[in-house]
Amino acid sequence: MKRSGAELVRQALEALGVRYSFGIPGVHNTEIYDQLAASPSIEPVLVAHEGGGAFMADAVSRVGGAGIGTLLIVPAAGVTHAASGIGEAFLDGIPMLVLSGGIRRDTGRRFQLHDVDQHALLRPITKGTWLPRSHAEIVPAIFAAHALATEGEPGPVYVEVPVDLQLFTGDPGVAQEPPPPIAPPLPPATLLDAAAALLARAARPGILCGWGAVGASAELEALAERLGAPVATTLQGLSTFRADHPLHAAFALGPSSTPAGVQAFAECDCLLAVGTRFAEIATGSYGARVPSDLVHVDINPAAIGANYPARVGLVGDARPVLAALLGRLGTADPASYERGVAVAAQIAADKRAYQQEWFAHDSRGRVNPARFFAALRSALPRDAIIVADDGNHTFLTAELLPILEPRTFLSPTDFNCMGYCIPATIGAKLARPERTVVGIVGDGALRMTGLEALTAAARAAGIAWFVFSDGELSQISQAQEIPLNRKTCSVLSPLDVVALARAVGAGFVAIGSDAEVAAGIAAALAAVAGGRPVFVDVRIDYSKRTRFTSGTVRTTLERFDRATRLRFVGRALWRRFTG
C-alpha cells in the first residue's frame, strides 16, 4: 500500500522509541507535524526558537528515558537557528536526530523558498546527513541516521525529507525494523594486561573520568577503591563519579583544580583516564601535568593520545573495558587499602578547608556562593537534575555543588554555548518528569533564551531557575579585569526579572542576602512541586574568583614568553594607577 512520506517519518520515529520532537512547524514540515499529532507515543513540542529546541533535544538524550533527542524543524532559517544546539551536541558527544523538511525536488524550479544546501551547512557539525530521493528511502535513512548517532562516540545526525515526498504517496519499500545496536569489541587482551600491570604497580595512581564514562559509575567506584586512587572529573563528566564518595577529589586536573584536586594528584605516577579527551576546560587550558604512565580509555580512537601521549590506549566502551581491568586487578592488597584511606582523609580535610575559606569570605551583603550551594544541595534530593549554563556560575557550581548521581548534571562544555540552561532544563523535565529539575543561569545567558520559559509554563513544567544576577558577563569581565584592568562590552544593562517572570507566566522569588537563601530556595521548590516554573533572582557575589578562573589565567600567562608577559602585566598596572 502506498504511503505518504510524512506517514513514513512517523512510522520510523515510533519504531525508534522517540518520545518528543522539538521545533516549529512551517510550510516544509506541516505534513509531518500533522502525522505526529496523531501518534500515540510521540509528542511534538512547540518551542520559542529552534536553538532552544536543540538544547531541549540535547538534554533529553543526556538524561535518558525518552529516546533520542529529536528536532523537527524547517529548512534554512530553522537549520541555522538550531545550529548552536547541534554544534554543542556534536562537540560534547551527545546523540541527536535532526529532521527537517526540504524543497520540492519534483518541479525543476530554482530559487524556491528556503532553497539552500542544508547538508553543506550541517556537515561540519554532524556525524552524517541523508537526503532520501524516494519514499522507499525514508525509513532506511532515518534508521541509518539513528544508528550512526548512537554508535561509537555519539553525536547529531541530519535527515532532510523533501516536501514533495511528504505530500504525495509512494511505494514505501520493504518493511524494516531498526537495526540492533552493535557493541564495540573489547581491546586486545595484551593491551588490557599491560594497562592492568601499569595500574597495579603504581605507587600513586589516579583516575580522571569524563562524560564517556557516565554509564560506568559502579565500575569507576570499584576501580578507585581497588587502587586506593583519587578521582577527578571533567566539567561535562561531573556526574560520572558521586561527589560524596571518599575518593572523589575535584573537578578538573592540574593547577585549575581545587586544593583537594591539586593535592590528591600532586604525585600521581599513573593516570587512568576514561571517557575524556583531555580538552581545554578539563585541563585548565592544558595546564595539567599528566604522568608518562597514562592509560587512556575512550570509544573514539582519535581521542587517545591526541593531547597527552598514552602509554596504553584502550579503544572501547567504558563499562566493559573497566570491568575487564577490574577482573585482571583482582582484590585490593593492604597497601592499596592503606593508600586509599590516607588519600580519602587528605581529600576530606582539603574539601572542608576550601568550603570554610568560601564561608569566611565577606560577600558584603550579597549572596555568598558557597552558602547558596550548601543550602541548595541540602534542599534537593540526590537524584535532582542540575543544569548549568555557560559562565562564571558554571565553575562555581562545579567547585561548590556536590553532584551525587549519574546523569544529574548537564552543562554546555566544548562548544561552550551560552543560552543552554533554560531550554535544557525543559528537555530534562519532559524526559524525567518525576525528578526535581533546577537550573543555574547567569543574567547574561538568561537574555539569550529566557523567553523559552514560555514553553515550560505552557506545559506546566515545574522548574526552578536560579538566576545569578551581578550585572556582568562575569567570566569574561574577570578575564578582562585581570590582564586588561578594564571591562569592554561585558557590563550588562539592567534586566527586570520580575517583569520577565510575569510575562511568561512563571513565579518569582528574590534572594538578596545570605539570610534569605534557605527560605528562598524552599519557596522556589514548593512552587515547582505544584507544576509552575519559577525564576529566582539571586543577588550573587562574584568578588571571590574560582580556582578554575585564577588557575587558568595563571597557566595562560605563564605560557607566554617573557616580553609578552611583561607587556600584559605592565599594561594592567598602568591602567590601574592611571584610572
Domain identity same for 13 and 149? yes
What is residue 473's predicted lDDT score, i.e. its pLDDT? 64
What is residue 486's predicted lDDT score, i.e. its pLDDT? 73
Count of domains observed in the chain: 3
Q: Taking residues 359-386, what's their average pLDDT?
A: 98
Q: For residue 235, give the 3-state DSSP assignment.
A: coil
Residue 200: name the closest of 315, 308, 307, 326 by CA.
326
What is residue 162's predicted lDDT score, i.e. its pLDDT? 97
In a domain, 222, yes or no: yes
What is residue 280's predicted lDDT score, i.e. its pLDDT? 94
Task: Give CA–CA dist 96/155, Å, rounded.
Answer: 6
Q: Taking residues 196-206, what's their average pLDDT?
A: 97
Domain identity same for 338 and 410? no
Q: Is a pLDDT exceeding 80 seen at residue 47?
A: yes
What is residue 529's predicted lDDT score, i.e. its pLDDT? 94
325 Cβ contact partners less than 8 Å away, ≥ 6 residues apart: 192, 195, 196, 199, 223
Q: Is a pLDDT exceeding 90 seen at residue 506?
A: yes
Q: Taking residues 5-17, what's their average pLDDT?
A: 97
pLDDT band at 493 (very low <50, low <70, confident <90, very high): confident
Q: Is 114 left (phi over 0), alpha (psi -120 to 50) or beta?
A: left
Q: Taking residues 251-266, what's their average pLDDT?
A: 97
Domain identity same for 198 and 129? no
pLDDT band at 407 (very low <50, low <70, confident <90, very high): very high
Q: 146: which 3 cell numbers? A: 539513528
Domain identity same for 303 and 405? no
Domain identity same for 539 and 453? yes
Q: Is a pLDDT exceeding 80 seen at residue 577?
A: no
Domain identity same for 339 and 376? no
The answer to whether the CB of 467 falls within 8 A of the CB of 455 is no
DSSP 323: H
Tracing cell 554544534 back to the chain, one arrives at 87
In this prediction the pTM is 0.95
Residue 17: name the closest of 90, 95, 70 by CA.
70
Domain identity same for 339 and 468? no
Residues 84-100 have pLDDT tens digits of: 999 999 999 999 999 99
Classify burial at 221, counting beta carbons within 10 Å of its beta carbon; exposed 0-12, middle 13-18, buried 19 or more: middle
Share of the chain above pLDDT 70, in %: 98
Handedness of CA 535, 536, 541, 546 (dihedral sign): negative
479 or 527, which is more confident?
527
Domain identity same for 407 and 444? yes
pLDDT band at 472 (very low <50, low <70, confident <90, very high): low
Domain identity same for 10 and 154? yes
Q: Is a pLDDT exceeding 90 seen at residue 130?
A: yes
What is residue 579's predicted lDDT score, i.e. its pLDDT? 63
Mean confidence (pLDDT) of the chain: 95
pLDDT band at 482 (very low <50, low <70, confident <90, very high): low
Q: Is a pLDDT exceeding 90 seen at residue 429?
A: yes
Among 138, 170, 202, the domain boundary falls at 170
Domain identity same for 31 and 147? yes
Q: Taking residues 199-222, what's their average pLDDT?
A: 98
Domain identity same for 161 and 98? yes
Q: 286: which 3 cell numbers? A: 592544558
In a domain, 569, yes or no: no
Q: Is a pLDDT exceeding 70 seen at residue 138?
A: yes
Tracing cell 517519518 back to the chain, one arrives at 9
Three-state secondary structure of 78-132:
HHHHHHHHHHHHHHHCCCEEEEEEECCCCCCCCCCCCCCCHHHHHHHHCCCEECC
Question: Residue 194's CB: how many other CB atoms inside 10 A?
Answer: 16
Q: Is 395 left (phi over 0), alpha (psi -120 to 50) or beta?
A: alpha
What is residue 480's predicted lDDT score, i.e. its pLDDT? 65
Share of the chain above pLDDT 90, in %: 86
What domain range is 397 assigned to? Answer: 362-548
Residues 153-180 have pLDDT tens digits of: 999 999 999 999 999 999 999 888 999 9
The answer to whether the CB of 156 falls within 8 A of the CB of 94 is yes
- Can you give the CATH number for the domain in which 228 is found? 3.40.50.1220
Phi, psi torsion values for 367, nearest 5 degrees = -85, 125
Q: Is a pLDDT exceeding 90 seen at residue 471?
A: no
The answer to whether the CB of 232 falls within 8 A of the CB of 299 is no
What is residue 145's predicted lDDT score, i.e. its pLDDT? 98
What is residue 476's predicted lDDT score, i.e. its pLDDT? 72
The answer to whether the CB of 33 falls within 8 A of the CB of 74 is no
Classify burial at 225, counting beta carbons within 10 Å of its beta carbon; exposed 0-12, middle 13-18, buried 19 or more: middle
Residue 21: name the closest of 139, 103, 92, 100 by CA.
100
Domain identity same for 198 and 121? no
Phi, psi torsion values for 561, nearest 5 degrees = -70, 165
Cα distances (angstroms) measured from residue 570 to each of 60, 480, 485, 560: 49, 14, 11, 14
In a domain, 571, yes or no: no
Helix axes 392-400, 334-360, angle to 10 degrees: 130
Task: Give CA–CA dist 115/113, Å, rounded.
Answer: 5
What is residue 313's predicted lDDT score, i.e. its pLDDT? 98
484 Cβ contact partners less than 8 Å away, ≥ 6 residues apart: 571, 572, 575
Residues 217-242 have pLDDT tens digits of: 999 999 999 999 999 999 999 999 99
Concatenated DSSP letters for 351-404?
HHHHHHHHHHS--TTSB-HHHHHHHHHHHS-TT-EEEE-SSHHHHHHHHHS---
Among the ranges given (100-104, 398-402, 531-535, 573-577), the one the predictor scored with the smallest mean pLDDT: 573-577
Longest dimension (CA), the chain: 81
Classify burial at 491, counting beta carbons within 10 Å of its beta carbon; exposed 0-12, middle 13-18, buried 19 or more: exposed
Q: Taking residues 496-500, what's their average pLDDT?
A: 96
450 Cβ contact partners less than 8 Å away, ≥ 6 residues apart: 422, 500, 504
- Can you give the CATH number for the domain in which 404 is found? 3.40.50.970
pLDDT band at 464 (very low <50, low <70, confident <90, very high): very high
